[in-house]
């Protein structure tokens, strides 16, 4: 199932897994507080949980999405789910296209079991630019992949597309759209509110729309959650004026 929500800015969270099995994860309360559309980009498996004392259950072996039973995200129509990668040590760019498809098929299968709606836009782990899978993603209803927020702009796509990406924040390549990630919440820590507002205003003025991200593990930090709430509120207020 694909939910078609295209707000005037995009917010997403990478490296999602632990919050799917731990209802006390601070990300869950954070999402309730911001009350705005968000994409969660999920790993298929996580090996470190067997050593994680934050969890209410002790896991003695690597677990994957097939172990997820909690459906507390299901009833929030503003939360959408996208593939991210096999695990934190296996980014898609380290796999062959066929291996990537197998990984993503397993993730999508679990989304279907859990009743999680698909996102139409995806950021792959380590900003993998999997343009070889354009047709695969089109079938899944995905119409764009997010690229890096770093100055490199693009890693694998030919350099002549960097001019378009630099000017407008997006480019089309091999049958799929690539959109630049603009800001990581964790990189805003220590910046003044006026500086953050100026950065966001500039993105609105020069790019297709702002794309904001963070990571699930960063949301253990109160300062990241607070700056996230500030950014979302500011952009949401701007959106109402459009």
Tokens representing 20?
């799917």
Beta bridge partners of 63: 46
Task: Report the run of H or E that residue 145 belongs to, with start and end.
Answer: strand 144-147
Q: Calculate mean pLDDT across residues 44-50.
A: 75
Tokens 């911001």 — which residue?
34
- The terminus-to-terminus CA distance of the chain in angstroms comes to 29
Whether pLDDT at 117 is above 50: yes
Give, in words, the CATH class of 10-241: alpha beta
The structural domains of the chain, with segments of one domain joined by +, span: 10-241
Higher pLDDT, 31 or 159: 31
* CA pair distance 88, 32, nearest whole angstrom: 26
Above pLDDT 90, what percent of the chain? Answer: 67
Q: Is the pLDDT of residue 5 over 90?
A: no
pLDDT tops 60 at residue 235: yes
Residue 136: CB partners within 8 Å, gap ≥ 6? 101, 104
Choice among 37-41, 73-77, 144-148 with the minimum mean pLDDT: 73-77
- Please, how many CA atoms are within 13 Å of residue 230, restricted to the half-sphere of its CB? 18
């Amino acid at each position: 199932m694909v939910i078609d929500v295209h707000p005037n800015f995009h917010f997403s969270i990478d490296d999602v897994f632990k919050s799917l099995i731990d209802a006390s994860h601070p990300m869950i309360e954070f999402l309730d507080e911001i009350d705005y559309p968000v994409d969660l980009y999920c790993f298929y498996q996580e090996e470190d949980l067997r050593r994680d004392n934050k969890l209410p259950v002790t896991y003695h072996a690597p677990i994957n999405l097939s172990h997820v039973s909690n459906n507390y995200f299901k009833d929030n129509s503003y939360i959408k789910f996208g593939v991210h990668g096999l695990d934190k040590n296996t980014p898609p760019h380290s796999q062959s296209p066929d291996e990537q498809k197998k990984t993503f098929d397993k993730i999508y299968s679990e989304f279907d079991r859990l009743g999680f709606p698909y996102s139409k836009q995806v950021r792959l782990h380590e900003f993998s630019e999997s343009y070889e899978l354009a047709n695969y993603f089109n079938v899944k209803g995905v119409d764009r992949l997010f690229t890096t927020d770093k100055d490199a702009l693009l890693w694998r796509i030919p350099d002549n597309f960097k001019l378009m990406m630099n000017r407008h924040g997006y480019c089309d390549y091999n049958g799929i759209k690539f959109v630049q990630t603009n800001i990581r919440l964790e990189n805003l820590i220590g910046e003044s509110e006026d500086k953050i507002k100026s950065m966001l205003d500039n993105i609105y003025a020069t790019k297709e729309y702002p794309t904001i991200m963070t990571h699930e593990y960063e949301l253990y930090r109160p300062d990241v959650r607070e700056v996230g709430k500030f950014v979302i509120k500011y952009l949401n207020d701007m959106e109402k004026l459009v």
